[in-house]
Amino acid sequence: MMSVENNDQHYDVLVVGAGFAGLYLLHRLRAQGMRVKVFEAGDDVGGTWYWNRYPGARCDVESLEYSFSFSEELQQEWKWSERYAGQPEILRYLQHVADRFDLRRDVLFNTRVARARFSPARNEWTVNTEAGEQYRARYCVMATGNLSKASVPDIPGIESFKGRWFHTSAWPKEPVDFTGLRVGVVGTGSTGIQLVPRVAEQARHLYVFQRTANYCIPLRNGPQDAGIERDVKGRYAAVRKQARESPSGVAGFNVPTQSVLEVRPEEREAAFERRWNWGGIGLTRAFNDVLFNEESNRIASEYVKRKMREVVKDPKVADALTPTYPIGTKRLCADTGYFQAFNRDNVTLVDIRRSPIRAMGPHSVETGEATYEVDALIFATGFDAMTGTLLAIDIGVENGPTLRSLWADGPHAYLGLMVAGLPNLFMVTGPGSPSVLSNVVVSIEQHVEWITNCLAHMQERGLDHIEALADAQQTWGDHVNEVAGRSLLAKASSWYTGANIPGKPRGFIPYMGGVGAFRAHCDEVARNGYQGFALSTARQAQGSPA
Ligand code: N01
C-alpha cells in the first residue's frame, strides 16, 4: 500500500485531469461550495494541449467554436488569432482560463494518480498518487481525456537506437531542431499529417512510414476574419445553442437533408466542391448518407481521392497515398500542405503495409524490403483511445469489482457518465457518449454541467450515494451499438473500434446519435429523477434502515 495515513486529506470531490474538463469541473463545483482537489500529471493546465506540442499541432474545429461557452465575459474578451488555433494558442487560452477563474490553487501539478478505491463502509473514494500521497472524497470524477494514453509500437531493437525518438503526445517543451537530420515519421493519421509538412521543411531527409493512406481535406487556415469574429461574438448565445443542439457540436455545419443519390451529378459535385473549398472536416456532411450508404460513400470517396491526387506529382506516390477504405470510417484528417510535402525531393513515402517495420538498429529502421538510415524517429502512432487512460489507473471497489474486471470484454457505461458497480465515480465524455465524434468542448460542457447539477440535486436532498443501474447501462449500450451498427463506421478498423491496439476488445466505443439528441436524452433522464441511476444515502445503499 502506497499511502501514508498522516498525509490523508479529505475533500468533497477529487478530479483527475486539468484539461478543458477538469478546469470547468473545478469552476462549477467550487461555485456549488464543494471542496475540490484536481490532480494533474503535467506541470501546468491544458491536458491534450499541454502534451501534444509537436510541430504543426492544431485544432480542426474553428477557434470561435472550440472554446468554453460558460462565461460571456470570457468568450467576448478572448481574441483568437487564427481561424483554427494552433496548440500554443489553445494552451495560452486554457492558462488564461485557469488564471481568470483562479483555478490553479486547487490543482496539484506533477501528480499522476495510480489507484482509486471506493469504500462502501465509508462511502468514499480514496485516491493514491504515484508519489504515495493519499486523498479521500465522497465523489471522484475522471476528467482524463479520450486521447491521452499513447500507443508506441513495440519494435525489436528500439532500445539500441542511438538517435532521439519521440511520441507526438509527449513532445519536449523546448523546440526540437531537425535541421540537417535524417528523420523518420511512423503514422499518418491526423497527427502525422500535421507534422510531416513542418518536419519536411527542416529535415535533411524525411521518411514517412505509412501503414494506411488517409483521406485529408485542406484545412484552409488563416488569420481570424474580423468580420466573422464580430458576427459570431454579436450573437454568441445563439451560435452556442445551435452547436449544442447540432449532431456534431458545431454551429457552422448545416445539417444535411439530402442523399448523395438523390441529386444530379453536377449538383453533387458542386456540393462537395463547396465543402472542399471551405476546408476542414465537414465534407462528409455535404449529404446525409455518406457515412451510412456504401454507394453514397463510394461517390464521396472518389471525389476526395481525385482532388488529393491532383496535388501529388509522382503517380506512383499518388497511388500509395490513395486511401482504400470508405471515407469517414476512420477519422477524417485536415491538412496544411501534406500532399505537397511529397513533391519535395527530401521526402520519401515508405509503404509499411506492404513491408512492415521489422526492427530498429542504432541508426536505422528496417522493413522487409530496405534499411532506412535515420538520426531521429517520431511516432505519430496514436492512442489507446477512450479506455486506455482509465484502465491505466487501478480503479475499483474495496473487496469488489475493478474497472479492469468490469471492462475485460470492452467498456460498459451508462451515458458515458458512470459504470455500474462503481458508485460515486463519474467520467467526463466516457464510452457511450458522443465525445470524440463531436466538438469535444461542447460535449465536455454538457457532461460537466450534468454531473455538477446531479451533485447539487443530491446535496439539496441529503443524498450522498449514486450508482448506475446495470439494466439501464445495458439498454444504453444496446442503443449505442444499434446506432453505430447502422453506419459504416462500426465495420471499419479504427481507433473508434479499438482496432489500433493489439488485444483490445473490438466494439464501437463512442455514441453516434449526435450531440443534440444525446443532450436531450441526458436532460430527460435527469428530469425523470435520474432514471437509470440509484440515488440514495450511503446507509440505504448498504441496506441499513434509513
Ligand atoms: O493517431 P491515429 P493520431 N506501425 O490513431 C499508424 C485527434 N487529433 O495521433 O491506420 C505502423 O489516428 C496508424 O496506422 P493504421 C483526432 O481525433 C486531432 O494521428 O492503424 N503504423 C495511423 O496511421 C485523431 O483521430 C487533431 O494502419 C502504426 C497512425 O499511426 C486522434 O487525435 C490532430 C502503428 C495513428 O493514427 C488520433 O490521431 C491530431 C504501428 N505499430 C489528432 N500503430 C486535430 O484536431 C499505429 N500506426 C487536427
Which pLDDT tens digit goes with each residue over 73-89? 999 999 999 999 999 99
Q: What percent of the chain has pLDDT over 90?
A: 95
pLDDT score at 544:
62
Answer positive or negative: Cα dihedral of 460, 462, 466, 469: negative
Taking the C-alpha atoms of residue 412 and residue 420, their distance in angstroms, rounded to an integer, is 8
pLDDT in tens, 493-519: 999 999 999 999 999 999 999 999 999
Rounded to the nearest angstrom, the distance between the alpha carbon of 382 and the centre of ligand 1 is 4
Residue from 311, 338, 308 nearest 324 by CA: 308
CA distance 134 to 334: 43
Give the closest residue (by CA) to ligand 1 atom 37: 382
pLDDT at 527: 98
Which is the closest atom of ligand 1 to the Cα of 500?
20
CB 59 near ligand 1, within 6 Å: yes
Which of 148, 366, 381, 437 is the pocket-test mutation for ligand 1 (most atoms within 8 Å of CB)?
381
Does residue 147's CB lie within 6 angstroms of at least one atom of ligand 1? yes
Residue 5 has pLDDT above 90, yes or no: no
The kind and range of the H/E element at 478 are helix 470-485
| Whether residue 153 has its Cβ less than 6 Å from ligand 1 | yes
Residue 188 CB–ligand 1 contact under 6 Å: yes
CA of 457 relative to ligand 1 center, distance in Å = 40
Angle ∠(251,253,257) on CA atoms, nearest 5: 120
Ligand 1 closest atom vs CA 187: 30
Burial 212-229 (b: 16+ CB within 10 A, else e): bbbbbbbbebeebeeeee
The answer to whether 109 and 83 are in contact (CB under 8 A) is no
pLDDT over 70, % of the chain: 98
Does ligand 1 lie within 6 Å of residue 325's CB atom?
A: no
Q: 3-class secondary structure for 259-317? A: CHHHCCHHHHHHHHHHHHHHCCCCHHHHCCCCCCCHHHHHHHHHHHHHHHHHHCCCHHH
Structure confidence by residue, pLDDT tens digits, 435-459: 999 999 999 999 999 999 999 999 9
Q: What is the DSSP string of 16-37?
A: E--SHHHHHHHHHHHHTT--EE
CA-to-CA distance for 234 and 463, rounded, in angstroms?
42
- Please answer whether residues 397 and 467 qualify as being in contact, where contact means their C-beta atoms are separated by less than 8 angstroms: no
Amino acid found at 421: G
d(CA 433, CA 442): 12
Q: What is the pTM of this model?
A: 0.96
